Amino acid sequence: MGAELRLMTPTKDPVQPDDRLLVETIRGGDAEAFEQLVRRKTPKVYALCYRIIGNAEDAKDIAQLVFIKLWENLGKYDSAYAFDTWLYRMVTNVAIDFIRNRQSRDNAVNSTLRLVKTSTDAEQGLVVQRKEIETVFNDVSAVLSPKQKTIFVMREMEDLPSAEIAKILGCRESTVRNHLFNARKLMQAQLKQRYPEYAQLWRGQ
């Protein structure tokens, strides 16, 4: 029986330290702990960068810059707050700066967001392909400010609540809602003007 119990007890899968504990370990000078944190957060950081920027190579560069800034500013992290909120604020700041400094409109956000939804209903008579969605979003989102784009991505793609977005951006929740409202309104107007065939599928009412 003792042998059976030992077989059922995991021995090679130790419990991973939570983010706050890992940060404290890094502050103590453990470089391996920072590598562990980077591995843990890379998927989230890259995904958010890509959804805001829309370009894979740029997203990789921005993600690397985020982790450099993370290393440089880790001492400023207040463990009273969720680590992901603090990290997301860093990601969005770097991404917004990148958008503001980017010259070419061709590299505008190119993410598959739920701007247009596919439908199999017979009365729709329209099948929206992934590439078409990206093209439509790329065009109509060009009218948004960097902050409006970021908020739209976090709310519609990341499914973050307005309160969490407000914490990440360091603003009021009402400010987030206003930006989101204006982003939807601007994009809806562009959609009706440039892609009237898709206007009926607009979900941002």
Residue 97: per-residue pLDDT: 86
Whether 5 is covered by a domain: the verdict is no
| 133 confidence band (pLDDT: 50, 70, 90) | confident
Of 192, 147, 138, 186, which Cα lies nearest the Cα of 169?
Answer: 147
Q: Please indicate, yes or no, whether residues 201 and 125 belong to a single structural domain of this protein.
A: yes
Query: Residue 193 sits in which domain range?
Result: 116-205
Of 38, 44, 32, which Cα lies nearest the Cα of 158?
Answer: 44
Whether 203 is covered by a domain: the verdict is yes
Q: Please indicate, yes or no, whether residues 58 and 35 belong to a single structural domain of this protein.
A: yes
* Average pLDDT score over residue span 189-201: 78
* 63-107 residue pLDDT tens: 999 999 999 999 899 888 889 999 999 999 999 888 877 644 444
More confident residue, 126 or 177: 177
Residue 131: per-residue pLDDT: 65
Q: Find the CATH number of the domain harbouring 44.
A: 1.10.1740.10
Residue 116: per-residue pLDDT: 41
Q: Please indicate, yes or no, whether residues 94 and 126 belong to a single structural domain of this protein.
A: no
CA distance 97 to 187: 22
| 123 confidence band (pLDDT: 50, 70, 90) | very low
**Number of domains the chain contains:** 2
Q: Please indicate, yes or no, whether residues 129 and 204 belong to a single structural domain of this protein.
A: yes
In sequence order, the 6+-apart residues with CB closer than 8 A to the CB of 41 are 67, 87
Residue 129: per-residue pLDDT: 58
Whether 126 is covered by a domain: the verdict is yes
The letter for the amino acid at 11 is T
Pick the last residue of a domain from 77, 101, 125. 101
Residue 174: per-residue pLDDT: 94
Whether 12 is covered by a domain: the verdict is no
CA distance 55 to 196: 27
Pick the last residue of a domain from 101, 131, 162. 101
Q: Please indicate, yes or no, whether residues 88 and 132 belong to a single structural domain of this protein.
A: no
Maximum Cα interatomic distance, the chain, rounded to a whole number of Å: 73
* Average pLDDT score over residue span 125-141: 65
* Average pLDDT score over residue span 186-198: 84
Whether 110 is covered by a domain: the verdict is no
More confident residue, 178 or 129: 178
Pick the last residue of a domain from 57, 75, 101. 101
Q: Please indicate, yes or no, whether residues 81 and 121 belong to a single structural domain of this protein.
A: no
Whether 66 is covered by a domain: the verdict is yes
Residue 36: per-residue pLDDT: 93
Residue 86: per-residue pLDDT: 92
Supply the pTM of this predicted model: 0.65
Q: Please indicate, yes or no, whether residues 83 and 138 belong to a single structural domain of this protein.
A: no
Whether 43 is covered by a domain: the verdict is yes
Q: Please indicate, yes or no, whether residues 94 and 160 belong to a single structural domain of this protein.
A: no
Q: Please indicate, yes or no, whether residues 69 and 131 belong to a single structural domain of this protein.
A: no
Q: Please indicate, yes or no, whether residues 94 and 124 belong to a single structural domain of this protein.
A: no
Find out whether 98 and 62 touch, Cβ atoms under 8 Å: yes
Whether 151 is covered by a domain: the verdict is yes
Q: Is 202 helix (H, G, I), strand (E, B) or coil?
A: strand
Residue 68 backbone phi and psi in degrees, to 5:
-65, -45
Q: Please indicate, yes or no, whether residues 63 and 136 belong to a single structural domain of this protein.
A: no
Residue 140: per-residue pLDDT: 82
* 2-34 residue pLDDT tens: 444 344 444 444 446 789 999 999 988 888 999
Find out whether 144 and 184 touch, Cβ atoms under 8 Å: no
In sequence order, the 6+-apart residues with CB closer than 8 A to the CB of 154 are 48, 88, 92, 160, 165, 168
